[in-house]
Amino acid sequence: MFAKISPPLLAFGGSLLLLTGLIAALYWSRDPDRSQPLVIHCAEAMRIPMEAIAKEYEKEFRHKVEIRFGPSQTILSSLELTQKGDLFLPADDSYIRLAAEKGLVHSGDVFNLARMDAVVIVRPDFPRKMETWGDFIAKDNKIGLANIEAAAISKVLKQQLQLAKLWKSLEDRNPTYLGNVNEVFNSVHNVKSVDVGIVWDVIAKPHASAKVVKLKELENVQARVQIAIAKNTTQRDNAIHFIRYIRAEDKGYPHLARQGFSDIEKRGPMDERVEIVIHAGAMLRPALEDAIKDFEKRENVRVIRVYNGCGLLVSQMKTGETPDVYFACDASFMNQVADRFDKPTTISNNQLMIAVKKGNPHQVKELADLAKSGLRVGVGHEQNCALGALTKETFIAKGLYARVAANVKVTLPTGDGLVNNLRAGGLDVAIVYRSNVAPFDDIEGTPIEGVQCATALQPIAVSKTSANALVCQRLMDFLRTPESRQRFEKLGFGWEVKEKVEEPRTK
């Protein structure tokens, strides 16, 4: 039969049939699940715990997790080139910083996982003692180290030993440089081609027979393991959920602990949902809402928000109702309840403005113009909110209080209320915060300059009696990250936080 078929047909047809069969065989038994998997670019050093955690997560939540392993630099390059992926988990935090510099992750989307410490690994049949640094760098020892350019452990080792003036003594021994830290372990423990080496403790821990020595000279040679949400993720909520799973004490934590990681960022059980209450000045609402929603998902907490004029909030607190966190519109109100809270941190500032309709139809250019006859002025309530209290102090400082008071038609406990009134035509001018004016195109504002009390400072503090102080502290730190700063500044607030804040550690 085949003799009657022309050779080209036989060749092409036959190979095409064979190809089709092979492709069918390849895809035959694949999981028909079409849902988008959660993609994690993961350092190979994290493989064992992450595979176990991912397997359990897939089983419990029926959501596929696809982990792409490789050396930290390789997975960073892959993320950079493809711009695809949901999570980035390198072996050490220097790669997270690199990723942030390249715009692949936001610094506010970085989560601590654990820590690794450097230890000495000794060949199983090593004949001499290995107790001190001198024993390690003894003349007869063949020393193995991971590549300095590529491996985090050697980079950190060199840095720390240079500080301790020990690096030269190690370099003079002409150590053998191997590809990565796993190769060092293999060479010492399995293949025995070198006598001693320096590896991360988590590499050696799973091997009960490994001979490990901790030297005090290596105490500062550590790596922080962090996981970050990729900027281009299309499954942010799922990514956060998975990170929570890794850190939950009943889920991912045991795997990390078993692998030998130190300082693991443990959180409560996966299903536990902590509740905290925050009282915040009304003007802070636009800046806080999105950040708090994000925080709720990250930490699996429920944040009950109460926004109001600070005068009212302080009155509530004085009746006994102290929230977990208080974010005041001005330090003067925080001072009134300072005894209930830990030392406050100032996050932002907000300047008083003379707000008018666009085009300034009544030509109000400075504070003195508020005394013009027939003008309808709106101000904050002097007792109920910081806005009102600061406005009063400002008028007094300028000697205008009595003259302007005659024109005040509306007093409200929030700047938003005054702005709404102004926009609706019920007022000609209102004294409000910059952040109240910024979102709207149909009103404009003139800042009140030269009066110190015209700039409000917004401090935040955690209650001394909060049952969830750690969660509250993390919320505070979350609000101090660069991403939070962008939100505040976009809304017209000034930024008061001086130091750069990363995700806070629990220890």
Binding residue for other proteins (CB under 8 A) from 5, 13, 19, 365?
A: 19
Strand locations in 19-95 (E) = 38-43, 65-70, 87-89
Residues that bind other proteins (rule: CB under 8 A) add up to a total of 41
Residue 37 Cβ vs other proteins, minimum distance, rounded to whole Å: 9
Sequence length of the chain is: 507
232 binds other proteins, rule: CB under 8 A: no
List, as one string, the DSSP characters of 237-283: HHHHHHHHHHHBTTTTHHHHHHHT-BS---BS-TT--EEEEEEEEGG
470 near other proteins, judged by CB under 8 A:
no
By CB neighbour count within 10 A (0-12 exposed, 13-18 middle, 19+ buried), where does 192 fall? middle
Q: How far is the CB of 52 from other proteins (least distance, A)?
A: 12
Q: Give whole-number Cα distances, 39 to 31, 236, 377, in Å.
A: 16, 11, 57
Interface with other proteins (CB under 8 A), residue from 5, 13, 15, 439:
15
Q: Does residue 45 bind other proteins (CB under 8 A)?
A: yes
Measured over the CA atoms of residue 102, residue 104, residue 108 and residue 114, the dihedral's sign is negative
**Phi/psi at 64 (5° precision):** -65, 140
The answer to whether 233 contacts other proteins (rule: CB under 8 A) is: no
Between residues 39 and 471, which has the closer beta carbon with respect to other proteins? 39
**Shortest distance (Å) from residue 312 CB to other proteins:** 54
Q: Return the range that interacts with other proteins (CB under 8 A); candidates 13-21, 99-107, 122-130, 360-368.
A: 13-21
Stretch of 19-27, 217-225, 250-258, 260-268 contacting other proteins, by CB under 8 A: 19-27
Residue 191 vs 406, nearer CB to other proteins:
191
How far is CA 341 from its chain centroid? 25
Please say which residue, 29 or 363, places its beta carbon nearer to other proteins: 29
Contact 92, 202 (CB under 8 A): no
Exposure string of 30-62, with b = 16+ CB inside 10 Å and e = fewer, is eeeeeeebbbbbbbbbbeebbebbbeebbeeee
Q: Does 190 bind other proteins (CB under 8 A)?
A: yes
The Cα 410–Cα 412 span in angstroms is 7
CB of 77 to other proteins, least distance (A): 8
Pick the closest to residue 240 from 298, 285, 286 (CA basis): 298
Is residue 82 at the binding interface for other proteins, with CB under 8 A as the rule? yes
Q: Between 40 and 328, whose beta carbon lies closer to other proteins? A: 40
Instruction: Name, in order, each residue with C-beta under 8 angstroms of 465's C-beta and a sequence gap of 6 or more.
Output: 322, 340
- By CB under 8 A, the residues from 145 to 184 that bind other proteins are 180, 182-183
> At its nearest, how many Å lie between other proteins and the CB of residue 124?
13
Q: Which one of the spans 3-11, 126-134, 242-250, 481-489 is the region binding other proteins (CB under 8 A)?
A: 3-11
Q: SS3 of 453, please?
A: helix
> Which stretches of the chain bind other proteins, using CB under 8 A?
6-8, 11, 15, 18-19, 22-23, 25-27, 39, 44-45, 47-48, 51, 66-70, 74, 78, 81-84, 180, 182-183, 185-186, 189-191, 203-204, 206-207
